[in-house]
Structures are given as C-alpha cells and as structure tokens.
C-alpha cells in the first residue's frame, strides 16, 4: 500500500498542489474507486481534483452537498442523477476525451434504488451488482483518454482486525484499475492506494 495524498490542517497550498498532481499522474487514464467512511472528505477531495483536469464532469447522486462545495470548481459540469437508468444513459453518451475526469458520487447511494422495494431479496443485490458491473465496463471503455473516479462508502470486513473494504461486490471491483481508501487519523486525512491492477487483455479476461 502507498500513501499518495495527505492533508493536514495547516499544510501549505503548494504542497497540496504537488500531491494532487502526483495523485492525478497515478490515476490518469484509469478507473478508480475511492472509498471511505461518511463525511471523511471524499466528495470535497474529488471536487478539488477536478480542477487539475481540462474537462471534468460530476454525476451527482448524493444530494447532501453543501452549497459552497460547488464553488470549488466553477467549470465543473454537474449532472444530477435520480436513477440508475439515468446514470447508465448519461455515461453511454459521454465521449472519451483527453485530460477528462468523470466523477460518480456515489455508486453505493444508488444501491437503495434496487433494495427499496425488496430489502430482504437477494435478487435486489444481484441486480445492483449487475448494474455496477455495467457502469465499470462503460467507464473502462473510455480509458485511457478519460479518467474516472467512482466514490463509494465503506463496510467492515473483519471486526476483530478492524479492516474495512468498499461496500461493493467483486463483480464491480474486478473492472477497477485502482482502489484507494481515504482515512482520517487525528487532524490528518490521507489517501492510501490499496490495489493497482493492470486490466487483462480480452483473451486473458475470457479465460479468467
């Protein structure tokens, strides 16, 4: 694991810029899953990151953004998403452009659209997994010209070891190039790269 970005309360702006540029270089041309606990700062980080791309688009699922968040990058194109079908349609219409960042905030929020009517039905989770898998494949098709940042919540994997993982199924994560975890330690927030995966060729994927 590798710590890419670390924020402290009084960290100089020039050092933050240097770390953001380093993070961009690390993820450019890939599909990235950034996960962490609620209110840790994932959304604000994504908005700041968008300033370092020529083209940036936010598919906004969560509706709890404070108004001041949208002032971070006035050039960011914001598209409010109300349903999985709408997200599917909007991604399918998105062209692959150089130096482009696509943000989905958040993919796990859309899970409620599948389980709202049938909370205890395994079928609802299967449908969400199939949907998220399609989203990941759509985003992968836009690489390497376009970079995608998919924000997700976390869940506890092991209570005794206190380990957490994205609140997503492997069906989705198999198409993710980088998994990054945002954590908070005292007055610092940092992003740790937990996995970097070179996607296989079509032949290798077929026999995987």
pLDDT (tens digit per residue) in 77-105: 999 999 999 999 999 999 999 999 999 99
Residue showing tokens 């006035």: 74
Which pLDDT does position 168 carry in this prediction? 85
Secondary structure of residue 52 in the 3-state scheme? coil
Its pTM stands at 0.87
Does residue 182 surpass a pLDDT of 50? yes
Is the Cβ–Cβ distance between 53 and 149 less than 8 Å?
no
Does residue 202 surpass a pLDDT of 60? no
Averaged pLDDT, 46-50: 94
Return the number of other C-beta atoms located less than 10 Å from residue 164's C-beta: 17
More confident residue, 8 or 169: 169
Does residue 208 surpass a pLDDT of 50? no
> Distance between CA 162 and CA 5 in Å, rounded?
22
Q: From 174, 164, 97, 90, select the one nearest 130 (Cα to Cα).
A: 174
Is the Cβ–Cβ distance between 84 and 109 less than 8 Å?
no
> Distance between CA 4 and CA 127 in Å, rounded?
34
Which pLDDT does position 104 carry in this prediction? 97
Which pLDDT does position 55 carry in this prediction? 96
Which pLDDT does position 8 carry in this prediction? 62
Q: Which domains does the chain have, with CATH numbers?
A: 2-206 (3.40.50.300)
Average pLDDT along the chain: 85
Residue range 13-34, pLDDT digits in tens:
787 888 889 999 999 999 999 9
Which pLDDT does position 188 carry in this prediction? 82
Residue range 110-162, pLDDT digits in tens:
887 777 655 557 777 788 888 999 999 999 999 999 999 999 988 787 777 76
Which pLDDT does position 203 carry in this prediction? 44
């Amino acid at each position: 694991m590798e710590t890419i970005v670390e924020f402290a309360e009084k960290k100089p702006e020039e050092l933050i810029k240097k770390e953001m540029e380093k993070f961009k270089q690390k993820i450019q041309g890939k599909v990235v899953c950034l996960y962490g606990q609620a209110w840790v700062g994932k959304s604000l980080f994504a908005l700041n990151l968008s300033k370092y791309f020529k083209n940036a688009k936010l598919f906004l699922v969560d509706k709890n953004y404070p108004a001041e968040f949208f002032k971070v990058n006035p050039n960011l194109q914001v598209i409010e998403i109300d349903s999985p079908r709408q997200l599917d349609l909007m991604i399918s219409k998105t062209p692959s452009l150089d130096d482009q960042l696509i943000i989905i905030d958040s993919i796990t929020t859309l899970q409620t659209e599948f389980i709202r009517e049938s909370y205890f039905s395994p079928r609802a989770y299967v449908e969400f997994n199939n949907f998220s898998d399609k989203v990941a494949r759509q985003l992968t098709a836009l690489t390497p010209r376009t970079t995608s940042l998919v924000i997700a919540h976390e869940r506890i994997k092991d209570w005794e070891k206190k380990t957490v993982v994205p609140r997503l199924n492997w069906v989705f994560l198999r198409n993710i190039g980088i998994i990054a975890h945002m954590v908070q330690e005292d007055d610092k927030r940092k992003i740790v790269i937990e996995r970097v995966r070179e996607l296989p060729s079509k032949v290798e994927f077929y026999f995987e």
